[in-house]
Structure 1
Amino acid sequence: MTTQSNNGRSISMGSSIGLFILSLVINSAGNVLTLVTSSKIHPSFLGSAYWTAAEANLGTAIHWNLFWAFLIFGMLTTVLNAILVGKWEWRRALGNLIFMVPFSALIQLFADFFNGVYPQLFAGLPQAHGIWMISFYVILNFLGVALIAIAISIYQRVNLVLHPADDLMQILRFKYCRGNANLAMWASYIPPTIMAIIAFAITRDFTNFGIGTLFAFVFQGGITGIADRVVFPNLKHQALDVGHAENATPSPSKQTNA
């Protein structure tokens, strides 16, 4: 039986750090799988996860590489989170930054790896030719979305530091959506939708949007809710802080996962 500590944590700091690092790697790999598989099919119809597609497209529109696009747009989301919580917390903002720097670096590293920048390790995923290769990439793309959702579930529950987009989803989930992961995920897609519109206005291109994006839009929140129950099922949300909610929301131990 775990014992809740004074700071709202029932797991050790060592376990928290280990689970966070694991989830960070899983999330980065999943994001890049959606991007790379989308780029290997022509004409492009697959698409990547919703936030990933929007940030990558807007980054391309203003000539930023993936590292800077993910880092800067992530920190802008931190400002939105402070508005929703109703207060600016340097600890929370610093946590978002601490997450974003290694996450953005891992995104670039995995992108280089899957694109064959390090041929001595891996020649890169080839262009898709034929129905079997295309079908395989579709499966990989959906797997990437599932990996993102599982990683979100893990590090949201660990709640050591969060990606700003997932911090946004958690704030919406427990402050405004009564613990419902699906509703919170959909509401959290408003900022990337705005990014995508701006990117399209500049480039007239919907690259990175497709059926994979639709899959992520419909199922990613639900997969996160399922992962809460089946991936490290004894891990509960730690030290949850979403600001004052006017309407009562369920405690993390009684959260709605569907």
Structure 2
Amino acid sequence: MLNSTEQSTNKISSTRTISMTTSVSFFILSLIINSAGNVLTLVTSAKIHPSFLGSAYWTAAEANLSVAFGWNLFWTFLILGILTTVLNAILVGHWDWGRALGNLIFMVPFSALIQIFEDFFLGKYPIFAGLPDATTPLMVGFYILLNFVGVAMIATAISIYQRVNLVLHPADDLMQILRFKYFKGNANLAMWASYIPPTLMAILALVITHQFTNFGIGTIFAFLFQGGITGIADKSIFPHLKHQALDVGKPTATVEK
């Protein structure tokens, strides 16, 4: 279990201390890392038969809920993203149109990069033949490791773009609000708390469909360690990058530094 390293030791700035050019550069880099990591988890899971790696935690819950209500994934992700944005506003204590629009804007380049990396790892570009199916125990083990690496990439990307704080995915915004308003900067506890909404989604879907799919070893790994890895990345990846223009409402406790 990751311990004290998940604590945020970065200073927090209520204003921006880096230029917009630098902020955008960090954001683009983190978005690329996040997209590649997400696709790695999806592709490695699909290449093992029978599949037991599962999806990332939010993705797994949303996929189950889409089946339960007969929605496609686009509408499921959009509706739940909007609801999470509303929850974030309630936790912060005020509605911010810029923040809400930023949550939605995040999804546009993110979705495009997801498609690009999916095509790459599936071999749709001539420069790479794609990841083959896992047919031996060695390949299965390698894909499990790649899946965990994908989770670590997602966690690292979250650390970077949360500190830049230009626009955030609603789920990552929720985690950041919980982290600095309620959990003294502890990334692990905040990540676990942010998993309450998707857990409720999964339970609701289970009650309706009596099925529990898309959860697996990779999902468990993400649940246990993604928040902790985010905290480690705060210290080790661009350690001088502060949390920029942080607005989580009135904190309930002092952030530990």
Secondary structure of 2:243's match? coil
Whether 1:64 and 2:72 are equivalent positions in the alignment is yes
User: Who is 2:114 aligned against?
Assistant: 107
Match for residue 223 of structure 2 among 207, 217, 231: 217
Instruction: Give deviations 1:200-255, integer Å, cap 9, x for gaps.
Output: 3454443321111111111111100000000001001011100123x3322xxx54
Give the distance between the partners of 1:217 and 1:42, measured in 2 at CA: 23
SS in 2 for 1:56: helix
**In structure 2, how many angstroms separate the alpha carbons of the residues matched to 1:52 and 1:141?**
14
Offset of residue 157 of structure 1: 0.4
Q: Which residue of 2 aligns with 1:248?
A: 253
Quick one: which amino acid aligns to residue 170 of structure 1? Answer: Q
Cα deviation for residue 103 of structure 1 reads 1.4
- SS in structure 1 opposite 2:116? helix
Which of the residues 75, 79, 82 maps onto 1:75? 82
Compute the TM-score of the two structures, normalised by the length of structure 2: 0.87
State the alpha-carbon separation in 2 of the partners of residues 43 and 242 from structure 1: 43
2:96 is aligned with 1:84? no
1:69 Cα offset (Å) = 4.0
Question: Mind listing any 5+ residue stretches in structure 1 that lack a counterpart?
Answer: none
SS of residue matched to 2:245: coil
What is the CA distance between 1:171 and its match in structure 2?
0.4
Show the counterpart of 1:10. Answer: 17
Matching residue within 131, 141, 145 for 2:137: 131
What amino acid maps onto 2:198 in structure 1? Answer: P
The TM-score with structure 1 as length reference comes to 0.87
Q: Deviations over 1:55-82 (max 9, x none)?
A: 23334553424x5543443232111111
Residues 233 and 180 (structure 1), Cα distance of their counterparts in 2 relative to 1, 3 Å cut: same
Q: In the alignment, what sits opposite 1:175?
A: 181
> How far does residue 197 in structure 1 lie from its aligned partner after superposition?
2.4
Q: State how 1:199-210 maps to structure 2 within 5 Å.
A: 199-210=205-216
1:54 matched to which residue of 2? 61
Q: How many residues align?
A: 245
Q: Is the 8 A contact 2:183 2:253 kept in 1?
A: no
**Matches of 1:73 and 1:121 in 2, distance apart?**
37
2:3 paired residue number = none
Does the Cα contact within 8 Å between 1:82 and 1:88 map onto a contact in 2? Answer: yes
More deviation, 81-90/50-59 = 50-59
Select the residue among 217, 241, 244 that pairs with 1:238. 244
Q: Distance in 2 between matches of 1:60 and 1:129?
A: 30
Fraction of identical pairs, as percent: 75
Structure 2 unmatched runs, 5+: 1-11
Deviation at 1:126, TM superposition (A): 2.0
Contact 1:71 1:104 in 2 (8 A): no
Question: Of the two structures, which has the highest relative contact order with CA contacts closer than 8 Å and spacing of 6 or more?
Answer: 2
Shift of the alpha carbon at 1:100?
A: 1.5
**Post-superposition shift, 1:138?**
0.2
